[in-house]
Amino acid sequence: MNFQHTEDRRMLADTLNRFVTEQYAFATRDALARSDSGFSRELWVRFAELGVVGALFNEADGGLGGEGFDIAVVFECLGRGLVVEPFLGALVVGRALAHVGSGVQRALIPSLIEGHAVAALAHDEPGSHYELSKVTARASRSSSGWVLTGVKSVVQQGAEADFFLVSARTSGAADAEAGISLFVVPRETAGVMLRGYGKSDGGRAAELVLNEVCLPDTALLGERDAGFATLEYSIGAGVLALCAEALGAMDVAKEHTLEYLRTRKQFGVAIGSFQALQHRMADLLLEIEQARSAVINAAAAFGAGRVERERALSAAKYTIGRIGARVAEESIQMHGGIGMTWELPLAHYAKRLVMIDHQLGDEDHHLERYINLGRS
């Protein structure tokens, strides 16, 4: 395996890291994360102008890359800056549109690449416990198309989204893979109700209520009852993105902790000279490199067959969940009491690392999934 990025990816990473450093300082990010919208539309467009969103899509869809390593490079840089703009929704929804969308539906992708639209995945439901196949929202046929009813929870940037990718059951049991269909739902559709709220790690999410939402036949994405495979594929891209984002956040938490150990003094010497702290930091560095290897493996397997791809993604998500929590805990503990203060950027990195474990399946879920995929 070639561990060296292409020249284009290195240039993209350099450009994005420089932009985040110069234009996305922690104070800016913190203000955006606490704002009513949870992110900046203006900055979303500026990120798009840099080609960052385009790097998440294949050239056939108007993008600049779209491979696993392109996704990993972008989100690792975003993780370093704790960027709250709606990249994850653009990736997951956009890849689903590209995967099985009609010509009209695929025409939505350029609006995402150019930063002119915000998309959100509305799949999780209360009590679903990360299971992709557990969908109780219903879609029934009507004389003019479809009628959707149900509730979706933790829709990232949902209150600001221009359109949603909604999963609904058109047949089968509530936990069956077969019988799930996907629908593209514009925000202004009658019956769509949203309740936005702030997240503990910054940014906003929303609860989406579908109250007899009437949609035309053209809203159906792909084939009826066959949405599970598309969900698995597009959410897999999101899992890779979250793992890479966590890796970027880990690197910054590591750098901040090393700097603190070099400068904080006790008994007249830097605390980094204490052997106990040196051993703890060395163990942490090894763990972060293990997480990096897992992300590289997942990025390399993203274009492989289903079982190989999904096992690599679950292995990476499990590893990231376990190591991310340890990085958060150790970094704060080695900072001492100051590590808990909200004014210190480290506290925000630690919280984001913990919360990434709970997005798109936690470590327990992905460990079980990895084992089950090995039996198939």
Burial class from Cβ neighbours inside 10 Å (0-12, 13-18, 19+) for residue 7 reads exposed
Give the per-residue pLDDT at 1.
56
Give the per-residue pLDDT at 337.
81
Where are the CATH 1.10.540.10 domain residues in the chain? 7-113
The residue-averaged pLDDT of 145-160 equals 97
Mean pLDDT lowest among 46-50, 274-278, 348-352: 274-278
Spatial contact of 121 and 156, defined as CB atoms under 8 Å apart = yes
Considering the segment(s) 7-113 as one domain, its CATH architecture is Orthogonal Bundle (1.10)
Q: Is 363 helix (H, G, I), strand (E, B) or coil?
A: helix
CATH of 229-375, one of 3.40.720.10, 2.30.40.10, 1.20.140.10, 3.40.120.10: 1.20.140.10
pLDDT at residue 3 tops 70: no
Spatial contact of 197 and 204, defined as CB atoms under 8 Å apart = yes
Spatial contact of 287 and 327, defined as CB atoms under 8 Å apart = yes
Where are the CATH 2.40.110.10 domain residues in the chain? 119-225
**What is the C-alpha separation between 135 and 126, in angstroms, rounded?**
10
**CATH number of the 119-225 domain:** 2.40.110.10
**CA angle at 317 for the pair 242 and 363, rounded to the nearest 5°:** 120
Residue (of 275, 258, 249, 261) closest to 328 by Cα position: 249
Give the per-residue pLDDT at 341.
85
In the block, which residue shows the tokens 């002119």?
116
Spatial contact of 295 and 245, defined as CB atoms under 8 Å apart = no
Give the per-residue pLDDT at 375.
85
Is this model's pTM higher than 0.85 or not?
A: yes
Interval 170-192: pLDDT, tens: 999 999 999 999 999 999 999 99
**And the tokens for 206?**
């929303």
**Beta strands 145-156 and 204-216: pairing type?**
antiparallel
Where are the CATH 1.20.140.10 domain residues in the chain? 229-375
**What is the C-alpha separation between 27 and 180, in angstroms, rounded?**
43
Give the per-residue pLDDT at 338.
84
